[in-house]
Chain A
Amino acid sequence: MSVHLAPRTYLVLSLVLLLSLLVGVLQGAVSLGPETVGKILLHRAGIPIGPITWQPADETILLQLRLPRVLGGALVGAALATAGVLFQGLLRNPLADPYIIGTSAGAGFAATVAMLLLPPASILGFGSVALSAFLGGLVAVVVVYRLARVRGRTSVVTLLLAGVVVNTVLGYLSSLTIIFFEGSEFQLRRVFTWLMGGIAVNDPRQLFVVGPVILGGIAVACGFTASLNALAIGEEGAVAVGVDLDREAARIVALGALLTGAAVSVSGLIGFLGLAVPHILRLAIGPDHRRLLPASALAGAALLVLADAAARSLVAPAELPVGIFTALLGGPLFLFLLRRNGQQPGWQ
């Protein structure tokens, strides 16, 4: 029987997230001791802790690089996992992920064009690539949504298929752009790296924009959990129990696209996480979205922070694409739970 509040689940996941943040802050090309980190933070908070015993470089690394990156990773992970819950619930499809209705290819195409053709610019710390990716993802979702509306109604199946088609078409347009405007090797490598995904908070100011959008988006998403639950009994079933499906679907799509767009603007396309985290949590704590959504946000944040710490520590000072580690950390866990649970919470 479902109990709405499961304080223990949230407690455990919050602790895991805190530990991940700690690991994320300490790990990296230059490892910082916990003591140093604590002292720098207390010092910056204005609490007197005696003489300064750390290198000025450590302070710069912590405040300008490490902390923004770790917090950025947590935000991106939370946003992608939440968007995954929203799209899997709305589309009632276990293969749905945050990118499924056009975001990935829309953002990818716009980012490719920006990297090859647009001059670097910066607004609030966001470069032209980040801004293009954000807008490209949103425009693609709007196009997909418009395509899926037939005679004033939105069909979930059409939404799904239109998303796949738009993703495919835009994906090839990106390839075409790369072939036509063959850039320098450096540019191509940049495009490739961006498409693989990686946390890139180049300017701490970015967090002050992305942070409120993502945290606010997750909070608002919690208001849609009853509708997502009702969708388990099909579109007509949901309408019959009082869900205004057209309105709710539009809002859920908008919210999912906003969360994904905000994540993509600082991380490129990180795959797998938004697909796997909701599944892992559904297997662990059940399908009730009122719990699933906040729990997935916490778990997604923790997973991405850990994966990112691994990505930048293992071959330091070089970096590996973080997507490799979200897959390596999340994949086995997902498979283990899937096999342990057998068919039980299976999708139809």
Chain B
Amino acid sequence: MTRHIHLDAVGFAYPSGFALTNIHLTIEQGEMVAILGPNGSGKTTLLKLMLGLLPPRQGQVYFEGGALGGVSRRELARAMAMVPQEMPLSYGLTVWEVVLLGRTPYLRRFRGSTSEDREAVLAAMAAADIQASASRPFNELSGGERQRVLLALALAQKPRLLLLDEPTRHLDLSHQLRTLSLIRRLNVEHGLTVISSIHDLNLCSLYFDRLILLSSGQIVADGPPDKVIQPDLLREVFGIAVLVEPHPTRDTPWVTILPEKE
């Protein structure tokens, strides 16, 4: 096992005041990691720091052994991809055209896309179960379909590390499970390292090996699901009362939410 991505005393602050402070984090190759935390706890910021979209104010992010800032964007985009929550399109593009943008880091100046690019796009669309919509305009898709297009775009980059920002947010239950199973399969079969923010405490216990719990810009818990999914911890961070039991058929914790007393 080798370090895939490593954050060393990373700090970041927005002008508005919100900050991530003193983040130490090492994620090994082939791990499947979920980032949990309330709204505004810094999940998206943490993902953007890992991708280099935001420069750390303090500390350093290392990717595959080297400082993130020392690698070209093009090289990074071939190794690391991100599925954002939403993607604003400036003008109308079809699904095919959007997914093809995932091949940007492989294009050479003054050259068109190759048959290899087209194959990668087709494979990515098939994996994300969106190939039937290839010629439809992206802006006419439902939220769930768009999310799957964005996943296909990221997969077309053929990354070794996949970052996802709440990938199940717009999906119906069936597609939530399908998406997470697909990511899990890519993780198991191809050794893809996965780091995903997610809100659903039960889904993350079912599909992820390691959970990182963020609160107010700091890591408050990091470990396997049964270590992190603890009633006291969840009450403290989310302010909710929960009952944690073993999953009826799996070896994972299962969270039942207890409504507040009237």
A binds B: yes
A241 to B117, CA, bound (A): 14
Q: Does B102 reach chain A (CB closer than 8 Å)?
A: yes
Is A243 engaged at the interface, CB distance under 8 Å to the other chain? yes
Cross-chain contact of B82 among A238, A240, A288 (Cβ < 8 A): A240
Q: Which residue in B48, B101, B109 is a CB contact (below 8 Å) of A230?
A: B101
Q: Is A317 an interface residue (CB 8 A)?
A: no
B110 to chain A: closest residue by CB: A223
Q: Which residues of A contact B132 (CB under 8 A)?
A: none
B139 surroundings in chain A (CB, below 8 A): 348
Which of B84, B98, B112, B135 contacts A4 (CB under 8 A)?
B112
Q: How far is the CB of B227 from chain A (nearest CB, A)?
A: 32
Task: A115 to B70: give the CA distance in the assembly, Å.
Answer: 51
A243–B73 touching, CB < 8 Å: yes
CB A236 to nearest CB in B, in angstroms, measures: 5
Given the known inter-chain contacts A1-B135, A2-B100, A222-B110, please indicate yes or no for A287 contacting B74, CB distance below 8 A. no
Q: How far is the CB of B78 from chain A (nearest CB, A)?
A: 7
B88 within 8 A of A: yes
What 1/0 flags go to A333-348 for Cβ under 8 Å of B?
0000000000011111
SS class, residues of chain B in contact with chain A:
mixed
Contact between chains at A347 and B91 (CB < 8 Å): yes
A4's nearest neighbour on chain B, judged by CB, is B112
B78 touches A237 (CB 8 A): no
- Shortest beta-carbon distance, B57 to chain A, in Å? 11
Q: How many residues of B contact A (CB 8 A)?
A: 41
Q: How many residues of A contact B (CB 8 A)?
A: 35
A134 to B84, CA, bound (A): 43
Decide if A226 is an interface residue (CB 8 Å cutoff): yes
Query: Which residue of A1, A234, A347 is within 8 Å of B87 (Cβ)?
Result: A234
Contact sample, A vs B, 26 pairs, CB 8 Å cutoff = A1-B134, A2-B97, A226-B104, A227-B104, A229-B101, A229-B104, A232-B91, A233-B153, A236-B53, A239-B53, A240-B77, A240-B84, A241-B77, A241-B153, A242-B75, A242-B76, A242-B104, A242-B105, A242-B157, A244-B73, A287-B91, A344-B92, A345-B91, A347-B90, A347-B91, A348-B89
**Hey, which bits of chain B sit against chain A, CB under 8 A?**
48, 51-53, 72-78, 81-82, 84, 87-94, 96-98, 100-102, 104-105, 107, 109-110, 112-113, 134-135, 137, 139, 153, 157
